[in-house]
Structure 1
Amino acid sequence: MDIKEDHIINIHQFLPHRTPMLMADYILELTKEKVVTSFEILKDNIFVHQNEFVEAGLIENLAQTCSSILGQSFFENPEADTKVIGFITNIKKIEIFALPKVGNKIISKASLISQYENICHIFCETFNQDELLIRAEINLFIQEIKQ
């Protein structure tokens, strides 16, 4: 995938996660039904073991990528101090094919299958260049935290 620098969105605008639990760097494409993110795996990442990004890290990366589809409605006003919390409510199907290494930049793609209010069912995949790393169908729930 060609990354167009002028279209990159900082994912902090759409997720409540912060270091060390932020597992996506940038949103490369975002619509109401689809999102594409990038993430560079650094050696000090909490999900790196023996120079590989482990399965739990891949799943968290997918969940954060997917939540951008649903989370964007909570962050329409960039000035607002919105706080949200999200949960994986179900992993319907998951296949892990390979683990990326430190220094790899992975690309995750997610497509909305269905949505009912703040619950959505999403198909997602993560790639290291052309190599498919993980494929899954997950359900997410996101809600705003009242302050």
Structure 2
Amino acid sequence: MEIKEDNIINIHNFLPHREPMLMADYILELTKEKVVTSFEILEDNIFVHNNEFVEAGLIENLAQTCSSILGQSFFENPEADTKVIGFITNIKKIEVFALPKVGDKIISKASLISQYENICNIFCETFNNDELLIRAEINLFIQEVKS
């Protein structure tokens, strides 16, 4: 997928995550039912071991990519100090095919299967160029934390 600067959406507007747990750099495409993100694997990433981005990092990248779909409604106003909590409630199926290396830029794609209030079921895949790295079906929960 070609990354076009004018199409990039700031991921901070849709996720509460910050360094060192932010595992997506940019949102390349976002609708109510689909999201595409990019992430460059850096050497100092907490999920890098022996120059590879390990399985837990791939899963966290997928979860953050997926939560951008559900998180849109909580982060519509970038000026608001919205606090949310979210987590994976279920991984129905997961297949890991390969691990990316330091310096690789991965692209993750997620599509909403179903949603009931703050719980959603999403199909997601991550690629390094044309190589499929991971595929999963994930259930996520997210809700605003009231002060």
Q: TM-score range by the shorter chain?
A: over 0.9
TM-score by length of 1: 0.99
**Structure 1: which 4+ aligned runs deviate by more than 4 Å?**
none
C-alpha separation in 2, matches of 1:144 and 1:115? 17
Q: What is the CA-CA distance between 1:140 and the residue it aligns to?
A: 0.1
Question: CA contact under 8 A between 2:13 and 2:76: conserved in structure 1?
Answer: no
C-alpha separation in 1, matches of 2:88 and 2:43? 26
Three-state SS of the structure 1 residue aligned to 2:16 is coil
Structure 1: 5+ residue runs without aligned partners? none
What is the RMSD of the two structures over their aligned residues, measured on CA atoms? 0.5
Q: What is the CA-CA distance between 1:77 and the residue it aligns to?
A: 1.5
C-alpha separation in 1, matches of 2:24 and 2:74? 18
TM-score by length of 2: 0.99
% of aligned pairs identical? 92
C-alpha separation in 1, matches of 2:43 and 2:77? 34
C-alpha separation in 2, matches of 1:29 and 1:138? 19
Q: What is the CA-CA distance between 1:104 and the residue it aligns to?
A: 0.2
- Deviation larger for 42-51 or 72-81: 72-81
- Deviation larger for 51-60 or 10-19: 10-19
C-alpha separation in 2, matches of 1:21 and 1:59? 12
Equivalent residues, number: 147
> What do residues 31-58 of structure 1 show as CA deviations (whole Å, max 9, x unaligned)?
0000000000000000000000000000
Q: What is the CA-CA distance between 1:8 and the residue it aligns to?
A: 0.3
Structure 2: 5+ residue runs without aligned partners? none
Three-state SS of the structure 1 residue aligned to 2:66 is helix
Q: What is the CA-CA distance between 1:79 and the residue it aligns to?
A: 1.7
